[in-house]
Chain A
Amino acid sequence: MDGEKIKRLEEKARKIRRHIIRMTGAAGSGHPGGSLSSADIVTALYFEVMRIDPQNPRWPDRDRFVLSKGHAAPVLYAALAERGFFSVEDLLTLRRLGSPLQGHPDMKKLPGVEMSTGSLGQGLACANGMALAARLDGRDYRVYVLLGDGEIQEGMVWEAAMAAAHYRLDNVTAFLDHNGLQIDGPVARVMSVEPVAEKWRAFGWDVQVIDGHSMEEILQAVEKARAVRGKPQMIVAETVKGKGVSFMENMVEWHGVAPKPDEVERALAELA
């Protein structure tokens, strides 16, 4: 694979992580842990994989991305701003009164947001709907979805998983941000979702398991997923919550707590 491209994407992911730290720091609240764990996936999608046009966010043939784990809004906002959907300066208005950057993504307020999410478990069904519409309209766009591993405790996720396979939605590619932590503690202790790969396979999906922080593996997995016919595809991404900031990594405490000013400085130094 093209080394230059990988390097460029890795640098972009680092930049997006810096935005996540600055945004949540400025907001004084938000969810840095799960934003950092999915930063490489989201970067790959927005800067290499997806067919999008920031100048024309409602372009009918665009690829769609649904952030089903809506609390990771900072990573989505950072990617959209870096990609040119709106100004990078707006990122610092996160969660403020009147800002289009709501605590959880609001499609009516911010260009580039494909679906309002935040209440967990709902995004995959919405993505399936978009994928069915693509089929009806004879359009070849693809729909990408990002799910959290705690999120898949929601029963509706499995209703949607069943439906995607039943309707053979091969234009749906989902990522599972498998960072192993949720608010109340390790997913394994709160309510185990294992074995995830086997579950999705049993539901009729094509499943790959990758290192969710390897840009190369992410791109290769997407490439493989796109070639699958007749089945939706799940890419289980093994990730580290808080990835990139040593004192946040694998710490459940950083699920929904913003860094204080000195912590912002330390984190930014590590991400320089």
Chain B
Amino acid sequence: MKKIATRDAYGKALVELGRENPDVVVLDADLAKSTKTIEFAKHFPERFFDMGIAEQNMIGTAAGLAAAGKIPFCSTFAIFATGRAFEIIRNSVAYSRLNVKIAASHAGITVGEDGGSHQSVEDIALMRSLPNMTVLVPADAVETRAAVRAAAQIQGPVYIRLGRPGVPVLHGDDFHFEPGRAVVMREGDDATIIATGIMVATALEAAGLLEQEGIGVRVVNMHTIKPLDEEAVIAAARETGVIVTAEEHSVIGGLGGAVAEAVCACHPVPVYRVGLPDVFGESGKPGELLEKYGLTAAHLAARVREAVTKKGRR
């Protein structure tokens, strides 16, 4: 299957957006080559601002640009964008619902060799906790392009989570993206995997493995963490009786947390959360890290199998 990194798709989508909308401006914090905002910078140098290694100032400047009618996209690694600049995002952007887009790359452990200091596994939790913030986690290149275009249409702050490695292209060009509306990628009655970002492809693979054993798994692509498609979550709970969430993020506060919150309130069923188990990452090849932390199709299938067995005993 063809693989494209979501950050590469982001770089392309920005150029396209820049052509269509003169109000789109882009800021980066000395990582333009890595986040791919360099593409926009090449095409529209007068609308690109490198802010140097100063993420707080980048977000604050974007707030001012937005207050004056611009649509700023800010990019750097997810750890710095959401961690270093968190309180600026809260007070200068989200508090006033300013039209700032934060498109952060190198999220999760697939950053790889750079190690735990650079692997953001808490950014979804941070961004999801902010009022007025929309949180998008695209699964592939097609979804990334759609998310970037949707973000530009949304009046208010949007966080887009992007990754470093190439990931399979799951959608055709006719894919319709609606923020806040989950996509059922395949049907099944025995369990549901709700996945986000790069884990959607992994979830589909896991569902394929389980099908061979006669376990039917529904795969829900939750590309929008906030606002969460509670309807899709409740339907999964009601119709399949058990949910396994999958994310390249801490099991605390991200997709798993959001799904568990919705399920608890509306239709309690067991929810098993697959993700980083309250630990930091480390150096290694992305594939090795995914294996070590249980973010592979085989691991995910094992968790689903276990969940389905337990469900039968209830």
Q: What is the interface of chain A, defined by CB distance below 8 A to chain B?
A: 60, 66, 106-108, 114-116, 118-119, 122, 124-134, 136-137, 155-156, 159-160, 162-163, 166-167
- Flag if A160 contacts B57 (CB, 8 Å): yes
A65 to chain B, nearest CB (A): 12
- Flag if A114 contacts B67 (CB, 8 Å): yes
- Flag if B92 contacts A159 (CB, 8 Å): no
State in angstroms the CA–CA spacing of A109 and B60 once bound together: 20
- Flag if B96 contacts A129 (CB, 8 Å): no
A139 to chain B, nearest CB (A): 9
Q: Which residues of B sit under 8 angstroms from A114, Cβ to Cβ?
A: 67
State in angstroms the CA–CA spacing of A128 and B49 once bound together: 12
Most buried by A among B60, B62, B69, B88: B60
Chain B interface, DSSP helix/strand/loop, else mixed: helix
- Flag if A162 contacts B69 (CB, 8 Å): no
State in angstroms the CA–CA spacing of A191 and B60 once bound together: 24
Mark out the residues of chain B between 49 and 94 whose CB falls within 8 Å of any chain A CB in the assembled complex. 49, 51-52, 54, 56-57, 59-70, 72, 87-88, 91-92
Out of B59, B64, B72, name the residue touching A115 (CB < 8 Å): B64
Most buried by A among B62, B64, B97: B64
Contacts between the two chains (Cβ within 8 Å), count: 105
B239 to chain A, nearest CB (A): 41
B99 to chain A, nearest CB (A): 12
Q: Which residues of B sit under 8 angstroms from A136, Cβ to Cβ?
A: 25, 46-47, 70
- Flag if B64 contacts A129 (CB, 8 Å): yes
Out of B54, B65, B70, B95, name the residue touching A159 (CB < 8 Å): B54
- Flag if A129 contacts B47 (CB, 8 Å): no
- Flag if B25 contacts A125 (CB, 8 Å): no
Cβ contacts A to B, 28 pairs, < 8 Å: A108-B96, A115-B92, A118-B91, A122-B91, A125-B61, A125-B88, A126-B61, A126-B67, A126-B92, A129-B60, A129-B61, A129-B67, A132-B49, A132-B61, A133-B65, A133-B68, A136-B46, A137-B68, A137-B69, A156-B54, A156-B57, A156-B60, A156-B88, A160-B60, A160-B61, A162-B57, A163-B51, A167-B49
Out of A115, A122, A167, name the residue touching B67 (CB < 8 Å): A115
Among all A-B residue pairs, the 6 with the closest Cβ atoms: A129-B64, A125-B60, A133-B68, A159-B57, A126-B64, A159-B54
Out of B46, B62, B87, B95, name the residue touching A129 (CB < 8 Å): B62
State in angstroms the CA–CA spacing of A167 and B57 once bound together: 13
- Flag if B56 contacts A129 (CB, 8 Å): no
Give me 6 other A-B pairs in contact (C-beta within 8 A), A125-B57, A128-B64 excluded.
A119-B91, A122-B63, A125-B60, A125-B92, A129-B63, A162-B54
- Flag if A130 contacts B88 (CB, 8 Å): no
Most buried by B among A108, A124, A129: A129
Q: Which residues of A sit under 8 angstroms from B66, Cβ to Cβ?
A: 129
Out of A106, A127, A132, name the residue touching B96 (CB < 8 Å): A106
Instruction: For the complex, count residues of B whose C-beta is within 8 A of A.
Output: 29
Q: Which residues of A sit under 8 angstroms from B91, Cβ to Cβ?
A: 116, 118-119, 122
Q: Which residues of A sit under 8 angstroms from B65, Cβ to Cβ?
A: 129-130, 132-133
State in angstroms the CA–CA spacing of A130 and B70 once bound together: 9
- Flag if B88 contacts A163 (CB, 8 Å): no
Most buried by A among B47, B54, B62, B66: B54
State in angstroms the CA–CA spacing of A96 and B171 once bound together: 52
On whether A126 and B63 interact (CB within 8 A), knowing A60-B69, A116-B96, A163-B52, the answer reads: yes
State in angstroms the CA–CA spacing of A128 and B25 once bound together: 14
State in angstroms the CA–CA spacing of A271 and B98 once bound together: 39
Most buried by A among B47, B57, B63, B65: B57
State in angstroms the CA–CA spacing of A167 and B27 once bound together: 13
B285 to chain A, nearest CB (A): 35
Most buried by A among B68, B69, B70: B68
Q: Which residues of B sit under 8 angstroms from A122, Cβ to Cβ?
A: 56, 60, 63, 88, 91-92
Q: Which residues of B sit under 8 angstroms from A126, Cβ to Cβ?
A: 60-61, 63-64, 67, 92
B25 to chain A, nearest CB (A): 7
Out of B51, B64, B87, B92, name the residue touching A130 (CB < 8 Å): B64
State in angstroms the CA–CA spacing of A125 and B68 once bound together: 13
Out of A127, A137, A162, name the residue touching B64 (CB < 8 Å): A127
- Flag if A133 contacts B64 (CB, 8 Å): yes
State in angstroms the CA–CA spacing of A125 and B88 once bound together: 10
State in angstroms the CA–CA spacing of A124 and B65 once bound together: 12
Interface string of B265-288 (1 = CB under 8 A from A): 000000000000000000000000
- Flag if A133 contacts B69 (CB, 8 Å): yes
